[in-house]
Structure 1
Amino acid sequence: MKFLVFLGTVRDSTPPRPARLGDRVCKACIECLTTRYEEHEVELVDALDYPLEAVFKPHFSYAEGKAPSALNELAAKIQTSDGFIMVSPEYNHSMSPALANLLNHFGSSLFAYKPSAIVTYSAGQWGGMRAAVNMRTFLAELGCLPVSAMIHVPKAQEVLTEDGACQVTEQQTSWFDYFTRTFSQLVWWAEATNKHRVELDPHKMINDFKTTPAQRNAP
């Protein structure tokens, strides 16, 4: 299976410190995935690497061949992936606006019929769990239904070092055991949906919504 890990923060200035707390969480997730699920491919998608236009224009609204190359490349990665890990801080009880903006550039047909996992974090005690509630609805609408188990990392600056390792080495195994509950669900669903997509192409069974609202077949 191939999984994309989306890092949904673009803050790269101080204060506050550390500027990109999510970078630590993302590195820890990737380390867990690559060590405990060695047979699968994992790739980072950092929202900071995609400086998007101030005027919103999604990838699918460009004329053929006119979309920015970065969006074309990311669209191809999304389409060929089997599942997604969404890493987000919490803003006003909601997911990162940077992550939402990046994901909104792509039609749900690229994400659909594949699972996702929610990972949130914070500098405080709640670990971004209120953002996670918001993310369930968002990801479901994209078509990449999130698995039931979630990961929350409260006071992440005290839990993880800059390279994503645990501040207290003895806690690494217990944290990765916690991560594994979510990632194992993700892998199971990714393998199941991949197998069924091969047997029955959902995009042929249900038309993708790409151009007009009539494609939703609503009255």
Structure 2
Amino acid sequence: MNFLVFLGTERASTPPRPARLGERVAAACCRRLDAYGAAHILVDPLEIDLPKPFKPHFSYAKGKAPFQLEELEARIASADGYVMVSPEYNHSMSPSLAHLLNHFGSSLFSYKPSAIVTYSAGQWGGARAAVNMRTFLSELGCLPVSAMVHVPQAQEVFDGDGAYLAGTDKDRWDTYIDRTIRQLMWWAEAANRQRASGDLPAPAAFRSAPSQRNAPD
């Protein structure tokens, strides 16, 4: 299985402290994927120069999109599933994560599962953002698995490399995170077999314009 782990933060300044707390959480997710032998790539929005003003990938003429969009499009298309790591902003998902994902049509994500992982420096662990993310990811086509991960006070759980800090109940956290990872892998394997069979609903999700999904006039 091959997964993309999307890091939903760009802010490298403080507050919050430590800066880019999501890096720790994303690294911890990668570590648990490693434990199951799953290949993965971390997608960091700070490493992607998105076009300004906003222009989605599918609106470019074939072969004319910026290289980084082309590269990420290929990775999204080839992945078997996705881990979406996000903080909470005003009871919603990270604006940087939504902005990045909005560059790509649902046909790239369709018929693949996703996992929702949220975090915070405070006590709620971004749980309210997760409610918003279920709607967003379902519309994108990569339906979230039922289990989710919420990490309150993440700076007290993980160090800068995503390893557990001293005094953390490692076994309990592994069990908690693995519930989501194992669901993601189960659904990814099932979806992979079904996609390979060629038995996909038709017509496909839009590839050039959202109007392709409109009801008849």
TM-score by length of 2: 0.95
One-letter identity of the residue aligned with 2:95: P
The whole-number CA distance in structure 2 between the counterparts of 1:78 and 1:212 is 18
Q: CA deviation at 1:211?
A: 3.2
**SS of structure 1 residue aligned to 2:4:** strand
Report the equivalent of 2:6.
Answer: 6
Q: CA deviation at 1:16?
A: 3.0
Q: Which moved more, 1:72-81 or 1:205-214?
A: 205-214
Q: Which moved more, 1:14-23 or 1:136-145?
A: 14-23
Report the equivalent of 2:91.
Answer: 93
Query: Alpha carbons of 1:119 and 1:213: their partners in 2 closer, same or farther (altered >3 Å)?
Result: closer
Report the equivalent of 2:15.
Answer: 15
For 1:30-109, list aligned pairs within 5 A: 30-35=30-35, 37-38=36-37, 40-109=38-107
Report the equivalent of 1:143.
Answer: 141
Report the equivalent of 1:207.
Answer: 204
**SS of structure 1 residue aligned to 2:63:** coil
Report the equivalent of 2:110.
Answer: 112
Query: Alpha carbons of 1:125 and 1:135: their partners in 2 closer, same or farther (altered >3 Å)?
Result: same
| Contact persistence 2:80–2:188 (CA under 8 A) | yes
Report the equivalent of 1:123.
Answer: 121
Aligned sequence identity (%): 65
1:139-188 CA-partner distances (Å, limit 9, x unpaired) = 00000000000000000011111111111355122111100000110000
One-letter identity of the residue aligned with 1:100: A
**SS of structure 1 residue aligned to 2:62:** coil
1:86-135 CA-partner distances (Å, limit 9, x unpaired) = 00000000000000000000000000000000000000100000000000
One-letter identity of the residue aligned with 2:146: S
The whole-number CA distance in structure 1 between the counterparts of 2:210 and 2:82 is 27
Q: Which moved more, 1:171-180 or 1:95-104?
A: 171-180
Backbone CA RMSD of aligned residues:
1.4
The whole-number CA distance in structure 2 between the counterparts of 1:42 and 1:169 is 28
Query: Alpha carbons of 1:99 and 1:213: their partners in 2 closer, same or farther (altered >3 Å)?
Result: closer
Query: Alpha carbons of 1:161 and 1:206: their partners in 2 closer, same or farther (altered >3 Å)?
Result: same
| Contact persistence 1:165–1:172 (CA under 8 A) | no
Q: For structure 2, which runs of at least 5 residues remain unmatched after alignment?
A: none
Q: Which moved more, 1:74-83 or 1:58-67?
A: 58-67
The whole-number CA distance in structure 1 between the counterparts of 2:22 and 2:64 is 32
The whole-number CA distance in structure 2 between the counterparts of 1:159 and 1:211 is 43
Q: For structure 1, which runs of at least 5 residues remain unmatched after alignment?
A: none
